[in-house]
Amino acid sequence: ERAAALRDVASLIRAVPDFPSPGILFRDITPVLREPAAMAAALRLHLDAVADLAGSIDRIVGVESRGFLFGMPIAHALGVGFVPARKPGKLPAATVTQAYALEYGEGTLHMHADALEAGDRVLLVDDLLATGGTAGAAARLVQRLGGEVVASLFLIELPFLKGRERLAPLRVEALLSF
Ligand code: PRP
Ligand code: ADE
């Protein structure tokens, strides 16, 4: 059942000290991705967390690069399109851009200026919520394109970094907390 599936997925998330910089405990999801049963369980858990939104979402926005991994299969399962929010220099056409800070640095996200239609209802997907800087920037880009971020969905939340508070009043769904 759900608790067992969560335990199985959690057991495959590897904690790597001092990556990418000293003092950071990095939560590595690649051991989940390499096990078909765990990957399927994780996808099922993501879909269950937003089951109430099926039929009322127009697009998934996934954040480069780990937000692509579950974002795309979630979009496919919900029968909606996928829009990437990307790091600089990757998207070929005209973009809107937003700078942000994250747990271990800073960055800039871009979205294609024509990627959403006004009024699109968006589910934001990423693998991990830390400070919320990244997800907040992605949400801002969606808003600037006239979309509405209906909810955000993460495999992992690091509650001590208070990303959920930062994203408030946005709905935040996270499957595991460390
Ligand atoms: C990681 C993670 C989130 C972000 C969370 O991405 O995938 O996008 O950090 O941190 P925050 O809540 O403090 O903003 P990273 O920038 O390392 O890029 P990657 O997905 O390409 O590895
Ligand atoms: N993104 C931000 N903080 C992270 C962490 N501790 N592990 C993995 N990805 C992250």
* Bridge partners for 60 per DSSP: 82, 123
Q: How high is the ipTM of this complex?
A: 0.98
> Which residues, in sequence order, are CB contacts of 146 under 8 Å at separation 6+?
116, 117, 118, 119, 120
Q: Are 146 and 117 in contact (CB under 8 A)?
A: yes
Angle at which helices 2-11 and 36-49 cross, to 10°: 130
CATH topology of domain 53-177: Rossmann fold (3.40.50)
Average pLDDT, the chain: 98
> Any idea which residue has 């495959």 for tokens?
12
Backbone φ and ψ for 65, nearest 5 degrees, come out as -105, -25
| Residue among 72, 134, 152, 167 whose CB has most ligand 1 atoms within 8 A, to mutate | 134
- Residue 78 binned pLDDT confidence (cut-offs 50, 70, 90): very high
For range 132-141, the mean pLDDT: 98
pLDDT in tens, 115-133: 999 999 999 999 999 999 9
Q: Is the CB of 24 under 6 A from ligand 2?
A: yes
Residue-range domain boundaries for the chain: 53-177
pLDDT in tens, 18-53: 999 999 999 999 999 999 999 999 999 999 999 999
